[in-house]
Chain A
Amino acid sequence: MGAATTGARHRTAFLNARLLDPDSGTDQSGSLLVEDGRIADLGPALFADGPPEGVVAIDCGGHCLAPGLVDMRVQLREPGEEHKETIGSGSRAAAAGGVTTMVALPNTEPVIDDGAGVEFVARRARDVKLGKVYTYGAATVGLMGQQLTEFGLLAEYGAVGFTDGIKAIADAQVMRRALSYARTFDKVILQHPEEPSLAGGVMNGGALATRLGLSGIPTQAEVMMIERDLRLVELTGGRYHASHISTAAAVEAIRRAKAGGAAVTCDTAPHYFTLNEDAVGEYRTFAKVSPPLRSEADRLAVLDGVADGTIDAIASDHAPHDQESKRLPFAAAEPGIAGLETLLALSLGLYHAGHIGLLDLLGRLTNGPRKLLGLEAGRIFKGGPADLVLFDLQAPSRIEPDDFVSKSKNSPFDGYAVRGMVLKTVVDGRIVFAADAVA
């Protein structure tokens, strides 16, 4: 039953759904018709008398039907580290997580810093034929932070923005030129905002790091880089995006910049508003991320930033790692969390706790990243691609990393109780994921 439905007439009707579209502000009961991969019609009145003949009808049981999630920051490890993840396994994980569009970081081996790399990702994604996979181009050749890549050519091949991935673009002059030159092609520069000379530690600086004897990264490392970059945005008029912000100071800096009208956006990942540094406990390497999990006050500030829209997007920051990369002394372990399959459920935690309305929350996962990257998918409208997620808003469950579809199981959320479960994921009208037992 879970197989893709390739009905001869390519018409599928989703009946009895709670239609949610953050872009238009839609939240109403109704039906949605998909024709040849596109949304043909939708609304409360559609199929009020039942679906017509020859249509594959899916009863949504009153559950939420929303745009498929747009995850703007994932690492898919292909090419180069296929033992951790591939575009295929990552796409299956995405489908299981309700994610229909992913944007991959260019920190693969080799680095995605030329047209062939961008084309490779696109071709592999076409072969896999699940969700849509885009990639950022490296901002600098080899991620070395010195020479700009061919933004224009890379953009023609499909790069949706430029970043040095998990490394900061540290040199101010290089960053200035990147922001400036990217304007030619109306592309955004995405920064890993950490002042590298302060970010040599392995966890949040503070009492816990001191007790554990681990080197700490002060929160200032993040906001310093953002504040420097904001000056460069002033100077260049470029478009700037601060990735995975983790501190109260960074949220506040972005909030002020936005109030001043700067072309600045940012995202965060679920772990930054769900966990604080205490998750490191006694050297739990699964809780080692970059930037590090911060204090409770920082967590709450990030949460507020998501709620009030200072933070435009929630991305999984999917960073799959094999056991061998994590079963190490804390300082030697790789940072990162496999997050594709927990993105929706962890984010819904904000809604269930009453911090944010459902449409606003879904907007951070769909329309927010869509807008800032200029993508087509991420909203529901007539004629738009039928990239959808059907989810049960209330279903309680516990996160079980062992059950992840992803090749890697590195999640600190083992046993974590959540509410919200993906029932079906639809890409261009094809069902690419269906939960085994739909209640």
Chain B
Amino acid sequence: MGVTEVSSEMGFPNRHLLGIEGLSAEEITFLLDLADRYVELNRLAGSTGDLLTGLTVINLFFESSTRTRTSFELAAKRLGANVVNMQVAWSSIKKGETLLDTAMTLNAMHPDVLVVRHPDSGAVNLLSQKVNCSVINGGDGSHEHPTQALLDALTIRRRKGHLDGLLVAICGDITHSRVARSNIHLLTTMGATVRVIAPPTLLPSRIEDLGVEAFIDMRKGLADCDIVMMLRLQSERMQGTYVPSTREYFRFFGLDHEKLRVAKPDALIMHPGPMNRGVEIDSELADDINRSVIREQVEMGVAVRMACLEALTASRSEEDRV
């Protein structure tokens, strides 16, 4: 008990949030508990905090995004921070001069937190080594998207009361999905059992090494699941033809009422958005308020990002005091 008390006093001891991998169950729980408080606060009309007053948060997005950027922006503003959004056009053909140059330039402006999204795996890690402020990974390539996994976990925990012991199926383009990787790390760390379901062309080599069980038959994979996480079929990332057509994909790997029947009767449906209705998920099912928690995920997103901002800036100011 003494240990948990100490760790909760320490809060979140990391300078950056670059990924879920490597976080302990205690650290994840700390962030989720903090986020839980913000969910309630956010539901009170007109409530704003002042924890981040005087601090500057820069949303640096090398990849287009509406919902994640908006969610971070709202989270930072609700905590009283100054927020600057930067959208940088990026193509790997242009090479990366702009990445570190941009990092150096922004660093010289002394922001307190950088939220970074980048289309290349590892790019946020690289950038974090070159700046003095805290960095939150807003999604890097096919690597990690930690705040998405945290908001998914918060959504599940509020609905199911716990994470451990749950059977979670993640379905879709596992190969290119940072959401899948972060969720796998988080859920396995918290004691859930994770399955991944995809056609073999969308299952990366040796995914089992991450502690999951892989299925290529959706009906078998969904059997007895508590949670069904659907992934967007990221057609923009496809280098070749991974699946022959969207209609064939929907037929065999799209979620509909019929396939869902083998899951637990109270299984929840999740999707990180934006959805391709009729490709990976049946439109009606996506809107089914008894099963789908997709809109709730969006709400949790703001709370989770407020928690992350608080956790990182709190540890920062502690460092400064020392």
Contact = CB atoms under 8 A, between A and B. Distances in A.
Say if A and B assemble together. yes
A205 interface: yes
Interface stretch (B40-48, B146-154, B201-209, B244-252): B201-209
A157 interface: no
Contacts of A215: 142, 239
Contacts of B92: 331-332
A207 B125 contact: no
Interface in B152-166: none
Interface centre among B140, B178, B206 (most CB of A within 10 A): B206
A283 B126 contact: yes
Interface string A303-338: 000000000000000000000100111111100000
B21 A332 contact: no
B120 A211 contact: no
Interface in A204-239: 205-207, 209-216, 218
A218 B125 CA distance: 25
B74 interface: no
A283 B210 contact: no
A327 B207 CA distance: 28
Interface centre among A207, A330, A332 (most CB of B within 10 A): A332
B256 to A, nearest CB: 29
B143 interface: yes
B207 A332 contact: no
Given A200-B239, A283-B126, A330-B122, A210 B96 contact: no
Contacts of A327: 96, 100, 126
B141 interface: yes
A285 to B, nearest CB: 9
A328 B204 contact: no
A225 to B, nearest CB: 19
A282 interface: yes
Interface in B74-108: 92, 95-97, 99-100
B121 interface: yes
Contact of A207 (B141, B143, B178, B205): B205
Contacts of A207: 205-206, 209-210
Contacts of B99: 328-329
B121 A211 contact: no
Contacts of A200: 239
Contacts of B16: none
B239 A213 contact: no
B280 interface: no
B239 to A, nearest CB: 6
B112 interface: no
Contacts of A212: 121-122, 143
A211 B126 contact: no
Contacts of B204: 209-210, 216
A327 B120 CA distance: 13
Contact of A214 (B100, B122, B126): B122
Nearest to A216: B205
A213 B140 contact: yes
B143 A213 contact: yes
B123 interface: yes
B271 interface: no
B118 interface: yes
Given A212-B121, A330-B121, 20 more contacts: A205-B205, A207-B206, A209-B205, A210-B206, A210-B207, A211-B21, A211-B210, A212-B143, A213-B143, A213-B178, A216-B205, A324-B97, A327-B96, A327-B126, A328-B99, A328-B126, A329-B99, A329-B120, A329-B126, A331-B120
Interface of B: 21, 92, 95-97, 99-100, 118, 120-123, 125-126, 140-144, 178, 181, 204-207, 209-210, 239
Interface of A: 200, 205-207, 209-216, 218, 282-283, 324, 327-333
22 contacts: A205-B205, A206-B205, A207-B209, A209-B204, A210-B204, A212-B122, A212-B143, A213-B143, A213-B144, A214-B122, A214-B142, A214-B143, A215-B142, A283-B121, A283-B125, A327-B126, A328-B95, A328-B96, A329-B126, A329-B141, A330-B122, A333-B96
Which 3 A-B residue pairs are closest in the complex by CB-CB distance?
A329-B120, A213-B143, A283-B122
